[in-house]
Each structure stands twice: as C-alpha cells, then as structure tokens.
Structure 1
Amino acid sequence: MIDVKPIEVEGYTFIAISAQLPETNLLVIQNHIGYVMCGALDIDLLNEKLKDRPIIAGRAVGVRTIDELLEGTLDKVTIHSQKYNWTPGMPIKQALLTIANE
C-alpha cells in the first residue's frame, strides 16, 4: 500500500509518502526543494553518480513510520544540501524548516 498525504511542520506543508514493502517501509517527506528519507536512500549514489544534479536530500536510519522520520535526525546528507546547512545529526524538523521558505 502507498499513502501520500500532506503534513504540517510548524505551519509549513510538506508531502509525506509511505510505501509498505515486504519486510520494510519506504518513507519520504518532501517539498519542491528537497526531501528526507529512510535508510533506503543511497546518499553515496546521489553524491557520486548524480553530483551534477543539485539534489537536496538527507537520510535517517532506524525509522519505521513517517512520525519516526519526522522526529529523527539526519544520518547522512547530499553535498548540495550543505547549501541549507544540513549536517549529520541535525533534527529532521530543523532541516525541513530550512527549505520551507524557498
């Protein structure tokens, strides 16, 4: 099953996508600037093979729901997300708020 719904983070709207897969869930919170995802996101691929694309993305590990993702912290980020001062260890909500006003 795939669930797509708007969510609010301190008054800003993002889109939450959750896909139930065998033995795991694929989780994404995004807007038109960038996104955060569960551990399924391959940051190294984005940084190495797709570095010519300015992809703003971050990954959290150990999360199983959209709520857990929203309350989590960034484990790894793309090189282009540094434009928004995203760093490993940063709370997901804080990262999302940096791209909310764009």
Structure 2
Amino acid sequence: MIDIRPIEIQGKPFIAISVKLPKTNLLTISNENGYIMCGALDVALLNDRLKERNIVAGRAIGVRTIEQLLDAPLESVTVAAERRGIKKGMKGKDALLRM
C-alpha cells in the first residue's frame, strides 16, 4: 500500500510518502528543495557518487511512521544539507524547515 499526503510544518507545505513493503516501511517527506527519509536512504552514495547533484537530504533510522520520522534525530545528512544548516542529530521536522 502507498500513502501520499500533504503535511504542513509551521505553515510550510511538504509531501509525506509511506510505502508498506514486506517486513518494513519506506518513508519520505519532501519539498522542492530536499527530503528526509528512513534508513533506506544511502547518504554516502549521495555524497560520493552523486555529489554533483547537490542533493539536500537527511536520514533517520529506526522509524516506522511519518510522525516518527518528523520527531527522530537525523543519523546522517548530505554535504548539501549541511550547507543549509542541517546537522546530524537535528529532528526531522527542524531539518525540513531549513530546506
């Protein structure tokens, strides 16, 4: 099952996507500038092999719902995200507000 819904954080619009897969969920919240995602996101790949794209993204691990993704501390972030003031350990919703 796939659930796509708009969400608002302090008046700013985002799109939340949840994909139910066997034994796990794929979660992401995005806007036109970047996104945060569950542990399936490979930040090292984005920083190394796709660095010329300057992808603004962060990864939270151990989350199972969109609400948990919003409140979880980011385990890792891309270099492009760091340039926007997004840091490892920052809550997902706080990182989104910097995107």
TM over 0.5, shorter chain:
yes
Taking structure 1 as the reference length, the TM-score comes to 0.94
**Percent identity among equivalent residues?**
56
Alignment-derived partner of residue 91 in structure 1: 91
Please tell me the residue identity of whatever aligns with 1:82.
Answer: E
Name segments (4+ residues, structure 1) moved above 4 Å: none
* Other-structure match for 1:19: 19
Q: CA RMSD in A?
A: 0.7
> How does the TM-score come out when normalised to structure 2?
0.97
Which 5+ residue runs of structure 2 have no aligned equivalent?
none
Deviation at 1:73, TM superposition (A): 1.1
Instruction: Give distance in 1, aligned partners of 2:44 and 2:97.
Output: 24
- Amino acid paired to 2:71: E
Q: Which amino acid in structure 2 is aligned with residue 18 of structure 1?
A: S
Aligned length: 99
Secondary structure, aligned partner of 2:83: helix
Q: Secondary structure of 1:52's match?
A: helix
